[in-house]
């Protein structure tokens, strides 16, 4: 049976004669206004339990969404359920407003209104929605490093609504940082990076709790820093810290989002061996031993293109959000390499090392080591 479509003006007239008008959009869509007199029932809720929301099957029912597509689909569902007088409003709320018909705005408390408006573009994504956004709001992320990689990662994690960001860095802002570490500004020179970062992130999204920790990550405090954390983002710039974070994440079963940059090249991956022994590699599977210092100079020694950490840090934020939401395919088992000069990505498959010193299946945690000495001696 063909779905009956009527104009907003026709719907308004029928509404005056007793037809039930139902706005089937989600709550965040109704913030901009809904047709006056409409009952707000989300599409999935109405289709799943129409009998509890609607009068008898012979009562006229008018359905409205944003543009008319969803209301037509729901009208078909109701017709199949036996409703005999169902109509979809052509053009939806957009057409209703264009015709100058009256609209009302739902009354929400300030916090709920802020949540729905701030994350409205996320809420439109079926893969996120209200449930996913609430999951982000309840998430805890440890971000190690408030520098080149940590700056873009922190900005986008905070903007996305990750509820708790534990930010660890023991450094202070230097003028040479400003070329790439976009969390910081001229006025912050000489202040702790975590304090500078906290100020900027709080200004971006006051809903996010920023926990600044001005400390060096060591074997003595790493497990306390990982306590209660869902995902670890590694924005460090030295091998001892990368090995330490990897070992702690394997031991405690935390996913580690890795990134590194040098000159014009960067790379990113996810190491999730702690939760998936024998299936996913860890950082040591990729680098069983650190390279000699002359083959891995720091950014201070070799230099780095300012935008490069931004690109890699955004990739890390993307991976962290996917892990928190449980969507998509992570970079676990893959190393994504980026060449900024050639503007080319290359992907390498990474297999878990069955004899890895830390993540091999059945192997007990060997304990933390002197990571500085391990890296200085090349293993």
Q: Is residue 196 predicted with pLDDT exceeding 70?
A: yes
For the ranges 32-41, 69-78, 296-305, 369-378, the lowest mean pLDDT is seen at 296-305
Residue 377 burial by Cβ neighbours in a 10 Å radius (0-12, 13-18, 19+) = exposed
Residue ranges of the chain assigned to CATH 3.40.250.10? 4-107
Residues annotated catalytic, as ranges? 299
- For 203-252, the pLDDT digits (tens) are 999 999 999 999 999 999 999 999 999 999 999 989 999 999 999 999 99
Cα 53 from Cα 138, distance rounded (Å): 31
Residue ranges of the chain assigned to CATH 3.40.50.720? 139-376
Classify strands 344-349 and 334-339 as parallel, antiparallel or unpaired: antiparallel
Classify strands 231-234 and 164-168 as parallel, antiparallel or unpaired: unpaired
Position 109 confidence tier, pLDDT thresholds 50, 70, 90: confident
The pTM of this model reads: 0.86
- For 276-308, the pLDDT digits (tens) are 999 999 999 999 988 766 555 666 667 899 999
Architecture in CATH for domain 4-107: 3-Layer(aba) Sandwich (3.40)
pLDDT of residue 298: 63
Query: 304 φ, ψ to 5°?
Result: -155, 140
Q: What is the mean pLDDT of residues 252-258?
A: 98
Cα 165 from Cα 232, distance rounded (Å): 10
139-376 classified as CATH 3.40.50.720: yes
Q: What angle do CA 337, 342, 345 make, to 5 degrees?
A: 25
pLDDT of residue 28: 85
Q: Is residue 378 predicted with pLDDT exceeding 90?
A: no
Position 351 confidence tier, pLDDT thresholds 50, 70, 90: very high
Cα four-point dihedral sign 259, 161, 230, 255: negative
Q: Is residue 379 predicted with pLDDT exceeding 70?
A: no
What string of DSSP letters covers 47-62? HHSHHHHS--TTS-EE
For the ranges 105-109, 110-114, 244-248, 330-334, the lowest mean pLDDT is seen at 105-109
Cα 322 from Cα 336, distance rounded (Å): 16
pLDDT of residue 161: 98
């Amino acid at each position: 049976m063909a779905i009956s479509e009527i104009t907003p003006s026709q719907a308004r007239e029928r509404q005056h004669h007793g037809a039930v008008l139902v706005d089937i959009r989600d709550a965040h869509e109704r913030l901009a206004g809904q047709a006056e007199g409409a009952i707000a029932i989300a599409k999935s809720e109405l289709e799943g339990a129409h009998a509890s929301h609607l009068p008898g099957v012979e009562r006229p029912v008018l359905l409205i969404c944003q543009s008319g597509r969803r209301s037509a689909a729901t009208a078909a569902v109701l017709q199949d359920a036996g409703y005999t007088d169902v109509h979809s409003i052509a053009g939806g709320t957009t057409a209703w407003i264009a015709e100058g018909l009256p609209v009302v705005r739902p009354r929400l408390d300030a916090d709920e209104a802020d949540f729905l408006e701030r994350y409205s573009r996320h809420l439109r994504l079926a893969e996120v929605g209200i449930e996913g956004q609430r999951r982000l709001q309840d998430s805890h992320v440890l971000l190690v490093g408030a520098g080149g990689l940590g700056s873009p990662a922190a900005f986008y994690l905070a903007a996305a609504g990750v509820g708790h960001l534990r930010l660890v860095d023991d450094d202070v802002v230097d003028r040479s940082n400003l070329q790439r570490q976009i969390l910081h500004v001229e006025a912050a020179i000489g202040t702790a990076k975590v304090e500078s970062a906290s100020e900027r992130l709080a200004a971006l999204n006051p809903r996010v709790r920023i926990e600044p920790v001005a400390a060096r990550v060591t074997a003595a405090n790493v497990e306390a820093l990982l306590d209660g954390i869902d995902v670890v983002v590694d924005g460090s710039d030295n091998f001892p810290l990368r090995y330490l974070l990897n070992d702690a994440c394997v031991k405690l079963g935390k996913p580690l989002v890795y990134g590194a940059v040098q000159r014009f090249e960067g790379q990113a991956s996810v190491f999730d061996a702690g939760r998936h022994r024998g299936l996913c590699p860890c950082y040591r599977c990729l680098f069983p031993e650190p390279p000699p210092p002359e083959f891995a100079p720091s950014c201070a020694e070799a230099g780095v293109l300012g935008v490069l950490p931004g690109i890699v840090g955004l990739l890390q934020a993307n991976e962290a959000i996917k892990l928190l939401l449980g969507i998509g395919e992570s970079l676990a088992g893959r190393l994504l390499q980026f060449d900024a000069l050639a503007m080319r990505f290359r992907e390498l498959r990474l297999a878990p090392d069955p004899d890895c010193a830390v993540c091999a299946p059945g192997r007990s945690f060997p304990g933390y080591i002197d990571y500085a000495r391990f890296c200085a001696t090349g293993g």
